[in-house]
Amino acid sequence: MAGHSHWAGIKHKKGKADKARSNLFSKLSREITVAAKLGDKNPDMNARLRSAIQSARSSNMPKDNIQRAIEKSEMNTDSNYENIRYEGFGPKTIAVIVETLTNNKNRTASNLRTIFQKNGGNLGTQGSASHNFQQIGVIKIEKSEASDERIFELTADSGANECFSNEDFHEIQCDKNEIYVVKKNLEKNISNFISTEIEWVPLNKIEISSVEKEEIINFLGILDDDDDVQSVYTNAKL
């Protein structure tokens, strides 16, 4: 599955370039708040919160912002966020899965439907695109944390299935149900994680031309920039 989600690599570079954008910190804060609200406020006792904080630190979010996001989970609020998956087909009929975290699903659905339609695609129902994918656990680690050889050794010891390295980060893949077990094993030797997520991996990739690639990357970027969107996956070979 090497390079299974090249869009993730493109998005990673984009995040590095735009990390000062307020909507990036807003998304990270929202995930921290929800993780803290659903579980223990102590990250040592809450794997989802710990991973959210590590992702925020990787994006250079200030410590005060992280603490405020945790404290926000204790406030009485009418805004109850929920994770909702949207599926559809984009330009050139590529399959797309959009993971969101929203407190207004009508707003989110309307925004996504508009983005799909304006870019030659259409938003479908749940199940319309996901049969083109499978879910796996994906842990990304900064290249500076360990050499390629060392990451291979740690992957074998952690219980993960595979590992890959590119110029930007190491990627470790595992069964989705084992992701936090593998992560805990890696934490014995690794301090800085970029992200820990269950990702949708395409079973087969769709070949596209260089011209189509630019159009599709632009479309995926517009989706990713929506405030409610947390992750975007496609079966296009980028």
- Tens of each residue's pLDDT in the chain, 238 residues: 444 555 666 665 665 555 445 778 888 999 999 999 888 999 989 989 998 998 888 888 899 999 999 998 888 565 688 899 999 999 999 999 999 999 999 999 999 999 999 999 999 999 999 999 999 999 999 899 999 999 999 999 999 999 999 888 999 999 999 999 999 999 999 988 988 889 999 999 999 999 899 999 999 999 999 989 999 999 999 8
CATH superfamily name and code, 133-202 = YebC, transcriptional regulation domain (3.30.70.980)
**Cα(146)–Cα(101) distance, rounded to whole angstroms?**
32
pLDDT attached to residue 19? 44
Domain with residues 6-72, CATH architecture: Orthogonal Bundle (1.10)
Amino acid at 124: G
Assess contact for 142 and 192: CB atoms under 8 A: yes
Domain 82-131+204-234: CATH superfamily is: YebC, transcriptional regulation domain (3.30.70.980)
What are the start and end residues of each CATH 1.10.10.200 domain in the chain? 6-72
**pLDDT for residue 1:** 41
Q: What is the pLDDT of residue 238?
A: 85
Helix axes 47-58, 22-38, angle to 10 degrees: 160
| pLDDT for the residue 111 | 97
- CATH 3.30.70.980 in the chain is located at 82-131+204-234, 133-202
Q: Token pair 């983005």 is at which residue?
A: 115
